[in-house]
Structure 1
Amino acid sequence: MKSLIKTLGLSGCLAFTAGCASSQPNTFTFTADLPPDFVYQAIAKYVPAEGETCSVPGGRNTAVVYNVKWRGIYQPNAEIALRRTVSGCPLVISRIELDIYATYGKARGDYGVDTASVFIRNEVEEQYKSVFNEMGESTFYGECQQLFRTSGKPRILRKLLNCKTIDAQGERGTSQPFAAFTPDQLPGKTVKMHIKLADEERPAIGDTWVKVPNGWKRCMGDNYEDQYAFCFGNYKDFSGFQMPDGRQCTIYPGCTE
């Protein structure tokens, strides 16, 4: 799987075949089905079409960003061009980089983020090639898990996001969510990213929290200035922590025991 991601991630190595039918639409729709408080930002990246010797000065304007202001203006559907011309150079789409954001508080930094990808290449191994249904829609799946930790002397709770592929049985894989297509599959079609939230959260760093019957308790470590505060076998001395909304708590997620 890692070799596939590495191969597909090589920009400019493959692109559209020459002679695309002009009657085909030049766009496809990307959309996402996400858990509450999740959004995505997409960056569509383009490279010179196959056989072209031109280049774009400084590589400027060879990417298009969707949901750039995701905090305030979020649209789940994005109409993405397959071909563009920039500075007189014909370009074709090669991949879409996807940032998945999950907010957990009201402060500007109260979010976790992880990534997913859509690759568009002339050749994709059949075992990895995404397919479309009779409605012209192709869906790829992933599961995101919230990972909690504490930060700073007040031990403020922060959350990271970890997203992986899942199979038809719901088993998590080892790679980030992705889909792969050949360019002739995409005109007029819809690509959907479906992300589910894992049933349970877990600590971001091992041996820092202790599982108790009604949640997790934070190991004290040496003192509150001990940023790592590993348990090191001490499962009796715990510290309080501060939730993102300012509450002082002794257990996560219920706050009070």
Structure 2
Amino acid sequence: MNKHVNTPNGKPLMPTIKWGQALCLGAFTLVVSGCSVTPPKTFTVRAEVPENFTVTGTADYVPGPGESCTGRSGKPFRIGRLHFKPEQPNTAHQVEFKVPLTDTEHGCPTVLQELTMNIEGQWGKRERDMSLASAGFSISQEPSALSPATSTPQAQVFNGQCQWLFRTVGSKRVIRKILQCRAVGANGEMEKRMIGGRLHRDQLADSTVKLVLSVAKEEEPYFNRYWIKTAAGWKPCKGNWGRDIEELCVTPPQFKKFKMPDGRDCTVYPNCTEQEQ
């Protein structure tokens, strides 16, 4: 797993190094016979993802209490950033990586403040046919109301659902898709809030934070009231603005043709033709 540390302006504080190397180079115990270290406490991030999805992580670390971190410029920095990728290839639609609760760079102890889980969905065959969404977690330093974590703490599970939204772009009105992911409530319905929440530091060591993602069965238009649903499929409206892309529907509605990513000229989405399928 590769590790990167960035300042707020996005410039790396040190070259990309392997995780094992980072432990030896940090402010840990070193002995003549080799690198003898006390690894930082970690927790596991595990994501169950739909087909053609993956999840990576971005963690922000801030100086510990009373610490002042200095970058290569000699100026203090406020945030160190680590990037995490799955430790193994996506197997059975599950990805996993470990996140340390503390980190040391340039002799400066830092503590985990935030974790972003980057959700990437592939909607087409081309590499660029993808879209991104995210889940976010803040790390609370306050003691949890729960009992202290045991030697085998239970997993914290966060459920989310992703929705593919379609629209047209450019003068040829080619279909593109945008990924939107939201939290799923106790009733199983998608909510307006983002996936994520607050994690308590005293409950995290050696625990698992689990993200369970699903995908809505039906796609929806990206722009509300710019498409009309018919028995054959969705039809993009032509309005009063004279733009190339779909417009706000008027009464009576008028429609535009568009192109599928494979180049087909179509009148309804996703069936392409008026004939019901």
TM-score, with length taken from structure 1: 0.77
1:64-87 deviation line (CA, Å, top 9, x unaligned): 11239xxxx768111111111111
1:36 is aligned to 2:55: no
Instruction: Please tell me the root mean square deviation across aligned C-alpha atoms, in Å.
Output: 2.9
| Structure 2, unpaired ranges of 5+ | 1-37
SS of 1:184's equivalent in the other structure is helix
How many residues were matched structurally?
Answer: 226
1:153 is aligned to 2:184: no
Distance 1:172 1:82 in 2: 30
2:106 corresponds to which of 72, 87, 90: 87
In the TM superposition, 1:103-142 aligns within 5 A as 103-123=122-142, 136-142=154-160
1:27 corresponds to which of 24, 29, 42: 42
**Quick check: which has more Rg, 1 or 2?**
2
1:245 corresponds to which of 249, 254, 262: 262
Query: Whose relative contact order is higher, 1 or 2, with alpha carbons under 8 Å and at least 6 apart?
Result: 1
Partner of 1:17: none
1:67 is aligned to 2:67: no
Q: CA deviation at 1:135?
A: 6.4
Q: Percent identity?
A: 33
* Comparing 244-253 and 154-163, the one that deviates more: 244-253
In the superposition, relative to structure 1, how do residues 222 and 150 fare at CA in structure 2: closer, same or farther (>3 Å)? same
1:48 corresponds to which of 44, 63, 74: 63
SS of 2:202's equivalent in the other structure is helix
* Comparing 74-83 and 137-146, the one that deviates more: 74-83
Q: CA deviation at 1:110?
A: 1.5
Q: CA deviation at 1:226?
A: 2.8
1:173-214 deviation line (CA, Å, top 9, x unaligned): 221000322111111111111111112211111221111013
* Comparing 73-82 and 200-209, the one that deviates more: 73-82
1:21-53 deviation line (CA, Å, top 9, x unaligned): xx996111101111111112210111111x223
Contact 1:25 1:187 in 2 (8 A): no
Distance 2:47 2:201 in 1: 20
In the superposition, relative to structure 1, how do residues 110 and 195 fare at CA in structure 2: closer, same or farther (>3 Å)? same
SS of 1:78's equivalent in the other structure is strand
**Residue type at the aligned position of 2:66:** E
Partner of 2:217: 199
TM-score, with length taken from structure 2: 0.72
